Amino acid sequence: MKIAVVILNWNGESLLKQFLPSVMAYSTGADIYVVDNASTDNSVAFLKSEYPEIGIVQNSGNGGFAKGYNDGLKHIQADVFCLLNSDVEVTPNWLGPIREAFSIYPEAAIIQPKILDLKNKDYFEYAGAAGGFIDMLGYPFCRGRIFQALEKDKGQYDDVIEIFWATGACMFIKSELFHSLGGFDEDYFAHQEEVDLCWRAKNAGHKVLYVGKSHVFHLGGSTLSNMNPKKTFLNFRNSLYSITKNLPTKKAFPIIFLRLLLDGIAALRFVFQLKFAHCWAILRAHISFYGNFRALYKKREKANFLLKYYTTTSIVWSHFVNQVKNFNILVKD
């Protein structure tokens, strides 16, 4: 199995200097590439000087995470792409359990490892943690992380299980599937495009796995922090995009209506917290969703729909009302 570890970069010279050494040291048997999104810093010159063995793909512009990878991966040949954030520190033998899982579970098309917090290595990291799930209303969450509640890693998720979505911070995907799905939806630009990709893969009958014996450390927030209004905009908008595209009509419309109401409550909560920029971000997310609804709906034409997609009815109710902060005590449906 030929694995290509592919790092997307935009003006990230400092991150490349910090995190490439672990990737180079611990990725024996894999090819390493950097896809550069038209950086204006010294990233490309640094790579050519310090890491001439790394393959470089230079995109003509910064199309964000989705278009950046779509354009870059057209020029890379491998059986499996590992899409790796530029702020991830990998560990010895991180690839071994992944290779083994692809061999043991041929039906698996997408795999993610355990994602731990580089700044607090005993805890799971926000972006991916121990595998992604969604609730009935389309809100994504993870084992090891429900909203801002992060669990300590005590080996409780050192298993191999089927999950709903794998994080784009470190995602292994069979190249044939990536191309057959048309890659990421470029309308997302960034954030939750991996949820949509995995949802489309599952609608097509493929499996997504989490492999806890492989782990990496993620810095997180290098592009946009969790508290950035732009990230609020992208997360709220893109979640509505995924529901519209990936649910059957009879389910999609009632859920969209409920989501819009709950988003309104979230916006009011931001007002009470005096976070007016986040409230405005939610409003802009809805305006963008309405403006793009017709184009989104057309994307459903070729879709098959997975009827049982959710783990729990409402992660919002479970967390904010019932105070659930641990995946293992979450009420599953």
Q: With pLDDT > 70 as the criterion, what percentage of the chain qualifies?
A: 97
pTM score of the predicted model: 0.94
Query: Minimum mean pLDDT among 56-60, 198-202, 298-302: which range?
Result: 298-302
Over range 308-316, report the average pLDDT. Answer: 92
What are all long-range contacts of 98-102, with beta carbons under 8 Å and residues at least 24 apart? 98/3, 98/172, 98/211, 98/214, 99/1, 99/3, 101/160, 101/209, 101/211, 102/1, 102/172
pLDDT at 112 over 80: yes
| Higher per-residue confidence, 89 vs 225 | 89
239 alpha carbon, distance to own chain's centre:
12
Q: pLDDT class for 220, splitting at 50, 70, 90? A: confident
Per-residue pLDDT at 135 exceeds 70: yes
pLDDT given at position 304: 79
Q: pLDDT higher for 261 or 249? A: 261
What confidence score (pLDDT) does residue 21 get? 98
Average of per-residue pLDDT across 315-331:
93
**How far is Cα of residue 274 from the mean position of the Cα atoms in its chain?**
29
**For residue 228, which of 190, 194, 264 has the smallest C-alpha distance?**
190
The whole-number pLDDT of residue 305 equals: 86
Domain ranges in the chain? Answer: 229-329
Q: Residue 139, Cβ neighbours under 10 Å: how many?
A: 20
pLDDT of residue 225: 58
Going by pLDDT thresholds of 50, 70 and 90, the confidence category of residue 222 is low
Angle at 10 between CA 8 and CA 12, to 5 degrees: 95
Q: pLDDT tens digits for 259-290?
A: 999 999 999 999 999 999 999 999 999 999 99
Mean pLDDT, the chain, rounded, equals 95
pLDDT, position 249? 87
**Predicted local confidence at residue 331, as pLDDT:** 84
- The confidence band for 333, taking pLDDT boundaries of 50, 70 and 90, is confident
Q: Compare 308 and 182 and report the one with higher pLDDT.
A: 182
Condensed to tens digits (0 to 9), the pLDDT of residues 137-166 reads 999 999 999 998 999 999 999 999 999 999
Query: Is the pLDDT assigned to residue 59 strictly greater than 80?
Result: yes
